Amino acid sequence: GEDVEQSLFLSVREGDSSVINCTYTDSSSTYLYWYKQEPGAGLQLLTYIFSNMDMKQDQRLTVLLNKKDKHLSLRIADTQTGDSAIYFCAEGAAMFSGGYNKLIFGAGTRLAVHP
C-alpha cells in the first residue's frame, strides 16, 4: 500500500540551511508536495513537484526528487525562526475513477530553528 515516511525532528541554527527528507512508496504518484503547519493552524502548501522533474526551486525553497529511490527532499536556505513549524511531505495518488487527487501524508518533521 501507499506509505510516506519522514524523520520526526530537525534542529538547525538560524541562517543555516535545513534539509527535510521524505521517502514514499507509490511509484504512480503524479505530484509530490510539501506542506507547512504552524501550531494550531491548518496546512499551507509550500511547493510541489511533478513526478517527471528532478528539481524545483522557488525562492528559498529547493525540492529534489529521486524517482528511482522514491526520495524527496526540501531544502530551506537561510532558515529563519519563522520557519519553525511541522513540514509534511505528501504524495498525490491519482484515483482511477475520475482522476481525483488523493493525498497521502507523512507524519511530519518538526523543524526547530534556534539562534
Partner 1 sequence: EAEVAQSPRYKITEKSQAVAFWCDPISGHATLYWYRQILGQGPELLVQFQDESVVDDSQLPKDRFSAERLKGVDSTLKIQPAELGDSAMYLCASSSLGLGEQFFGPGTRLTVL
Binding site for partner 1 (CB under 8 A): 4, 30-31, 35, 40-45, 48, 88, 90, 92, 94-95, 97-103, 105-108
In terms of CB distance, is 59 or 97 closer to partner 1?
97
**79 contacts 16 by C-beta, under 8 angstroms:** yes
Nearer to partner 1, 14 or 43 (CB): 43
Q: Mark out the alpha helices in 1-115 (DSSP H runs).
A: none
3-class DSSP assignment, residue 82: helix
Three-class SS state of 18: strand
Q: How far is the CB of 86 from partner 1 (least distance, A)?
A: 9
